[in-house]
Amino acid sequence: MAKKIDQAQVRKVAKLSRLELTEAEVEEFTGQLRAILDYVEKMNELDTTNVEPLAHCLPLSNVFRQDRVKESLGTEKTLGNAPQRDGEFFKVPKILDDSSGA
Amino acid sequence: MVTEELSARQLRDRIAAGQITSVEAAEAVFKRIEELEPVIGAYISTYHDRALETAADVDRRLIAGEPVGRLAGVPVAVKDNMCTTFGATTCASKILENFHAPYNATVVEKLLAADAVIVGKTNMDEFAMGSSTENSGLKQTVNPWDTTRVPGGSSGGSAAAVAARLCFAALGSDTGGSIRQPAGFCGVVGLKPTYGRVSRFGLVAYGSSLDQIGPVTRTVADSALMMNVIAGHDPADSTSVDEAAAPVCDYLEKLNEPLKKLKIAIVPEFGAGADEQVQKAMTEAIDVYKKLGAQIVEIDMPHLDYAIAAYYIIATAEASSNLARYDGVHYGHRSEKATDYVEVYSKSRAEAFGKEVKRRIMLGTYALSSGYYDAYYLKALKVRNLIRGDFTSAFEKCDCIMMPVSPTVAFKIGEKIDDPLQMYLSDIYTIAANLAGVPGISVPCGFDQNNLPIGLQILAPAFAEDKLLAIARMFEKETDWHTKMPAIIT
């Protein structure tokens, strides 16, 4: 089975999750996640060699509907909860680095 | 007069008969909220003026002889993870503290169309992640039976509000027991319908393949009444089931249909982990059914023991994906300290998510990450199939399965909050139903030596809510547990 989760992995997962953790949180979560994952290992007692994975319980595959234009929320409602906006846009910090020369 | 003995259905009938006005009912509820809410803390927001306007409109229409809906004038509460165009929809999270939904959840539209009077939005564990409502980022809810104890969770606010008579019925959501467990802890009825029976449109997603909305009520008949309003296909939710494949029926009408040769399964080995007093109440509950002529069969469901392990991988994996939308850009909290776009994400999320939410996002991200996917997520999906198989074979031998809702009664506030694994283990009896997609109900079945409620859980095959409610009603007719009220309200 997978090796026990350590602080380096917790930091990596935090980065993937876009969660800035404090050192104290890294330490706390490492212990707690380790305990939870130890418990979860219990699943390995079961032989699942010929078992299909079940992602959800309904016998649904594709659900089709008519391709018809319907009313949408509109700009004002859509932007109504934006933390920052600029006219008709969501406003965010610059995403391109000026120094890249691109 | 509006008394605490009245059920939602009785209130509705009296309002329709002109014996009580909707305004009187709403005023009685708000008077109780004024008295008890400072202690109970069931609501994140209440809507006094709006509720009284709706109530006055129902009264006016009744006097004018105009048609009214099935919940006309009944004060109800909605868990705060269901979108409403009035007020905020917070999910008890600081990240959504000021979020104003641009549309109503389908269930909210249905309540409004039925002329229900929405009193307020109830407290919960943040994003429905928890079993005690202690993970709310906004406030604490206590158990009306003992204010030093938790109301259960995650729909703790809804269960506490119904138990303390701060509304006549409520909606909760159940991903791993979040309706049934708080209902059990608070001595009320809680129904998790079959996955796909009730629209999830406008329900803030936690574990999309597991989440289901359902009623929390004082009586079984009230749950049937609520189901009559909320069940059914919704074109806006592609996982809500086509009614041609699984018809919705009049659950109230079918409530008292006699069930001949009822076969009840129990799972002796699995139930043995519960506290002695819980087991005693279970045995007595089964005896009630035996006296009514039911046959009891003992079965084995060998994979139930693995439900918690599979659940906490599947639910957190789905959560890690669902909660990626809280990016500080489109809505919700944005950090003032962010200097670049990555920090907009990572600082906003760090500042506004609570610990349990962070923990679950981390766990789910880990389980889905490269190198661990097969060992955790894929394995959990396979175990899920085995668990569903247990239910399929069980229902070949019985009409329903009975077990406790929880291994213990309501625990003390703070008792499990520092040990997430212990908190997770308290969901042992409720989680499998979500993994298998089957409906389950919690009905009051006794009290322990400290006068804390114990819940009986009944599980039925998919889309057999009519039968499930009728089986629960059989028990309620023979017992008076559901009529007991916490001392705080009398």
Helix (H) or strand (E) holding B402: strand B400-404
Q: Are B316 and B361 in contact (CB under 8 A)?
A: yes
Quick one: average pLDDT of B151-176?
Answer: 98
User: Pick the residue with more confidence: B418 or B128?
Assistant: B128
Quick one: average pLDDT of B329-349?
Answer: 95
Quick one: average pLDDT of B362-378?
Answer: 96
Q: Which residue of A has its CA nearest to B304?
A: A43
Query: What's the pLDDT band for A51 if we cut at 50, 70, 90?
Result: very high
Q: What is the pLDDT of residue B273?
A: 87
Query: Which of B103, B334, B376 comes nearest A83 by C-beta?
Result: B334
Look at residue B287 and tell me if it is in a domain. Answer: no
Look at residue A79 and tell me if it is in a domain. Answer: no
User: Pick the residue with more confidence: A33 or A64?
Assistant: A33
**CA distance to partner chain B, nearest, from residue A77 (Å):** 6
Evaluate the omega torsion of the peptide bond into residue B154 and state whether it is cis, within 30 degrees of 0: yes
pTM greater than the 0.90 cutoff: yes
Count CB pairs under 8 A between chains A and B.
167
In total, how many domains does chain A have?
1
Question: B380: closest CA among B321, B309, B316?
Answer: B309
Query: Using the beta-carbon criterion (under 8 Å), do A73 and B100 form an inter-chain contact?
Result: no
Over 80: is that where the pLDDT of B246 sits?
yes
Over 50: is that where the pLDDT of A102 sits?
no
Whether B239 and B121 map to the same domain: the answer is yes
Look at residue B286 and tell me if it is in a domain. Answer: no
CA A57 – CA B353 distance, rounded (Å): 30
Q: Which residue of B has its CA nearest to A10?
A: B362
Look at residue B54 and tell me if it is in a domain. Answer: yes
Angle formed by the axes of helices B465-478 and B276-291, nearest 10°? 100
Query: Which of A16, A21, A42 comes nearest B369 by C-beta?
Result: A16
Look at residue B285 and tell me if it is in a domain. Answer: no
Query: What's the pLDDT band for A101 if we cut at 50, 70, 90?
Result: low
Tokens of B439: 């409906």
Q: Which of B337, B363, B384 is the last residue of a domain?
A: B384
Look at residue A67 and tell me if it is in a domain. Answer: no
The pLDDT tens digits of the residues spanning B11-66 come to 999 999 999 999 999 999 999 999 999 999 999 999 999 999 999 999 999 999 99
- B374 interface with A at CB cutoff 8 Å: no
Look at residue B363 and tell me if it is in a domain. Answer: yes
In total, how many domains does chain B have?
2
User: Pick the residue with more confidence: A82 or A62?
Assistant: A82
**CA distance to partner chain A, nearest, from residue B380 (Å):** 7
Look at residue B291 and tell me if it is in a domain. Answer: no
**Amino acid at residue number B457:** Q
The pLDDT tens digits of the residues spanning B393-443 come to 999 999 999 999 999 999 999 999 999 999 999 999 999 999 999 999 999
Query: Using the beta-carbon criterion (under 8 Å), do A40 and B376 form an inter-chain contact?
Result: yes
Whether B181 and B260 map to the same domain: the answer is yes
Over 80: is that where the pLDDT of A65 sits?
yes
Whether B402 and B369 map to the same domain: the answer is no
Query: What's the pLDDT band for B271 if we cut at 50, 70, 90?
Result: confident
Contacts of B361 in chain A (CB under 8 A): 17, 19
Whether B89 and B222 map to the same domain: the answer is yes
B407: domain range? 8-265+395-483
Tokens of B265: 């399964």
**CA distance to partner chain B, nearest, from residue A41 (Å):** 8
The pLDDT tens digits of the residues spanning B190-199 come to 999 999 999 9
Look at residue A25 and tell me if it is in a domain. Answer: yes
Look at residue B276 and tell me if it is in a domain. Answer: no
Q: Which residue of A has its CA nearest to B352?
A: A19
Q: What is the pLDDT of residue A100?
A: 56
A20: domain range? 7-45
Residue-by-residue DSSP string for B208-248: TTT-EEEEEESSHHHHHHHHHHHBS--TT-TTSPPTTTS--
CA B446 – CA B467 distance, rounded (Å): 23
Quick one: average pLDDT of B298-320?
Answer: 97
Quick one: average pLDDT of B282-286?
Answer: 97
Q: For the domain that residue B427 is a member of, what is the CATH number?
A: 3.90.1300.10
Query: Which of B305, B331, B346 comes nearest A81 by C-beta?
Result: B331
Whether B104 and B247 map to the same domain: the answer is yes
- B325 interface with A at CB cutoff 8 Å: no
Q: For the domain that residue A13 is a member of, what is the CATH number?
A: 1.10.20
Quick one: average pLDDT of A36-46?
Answer: 96
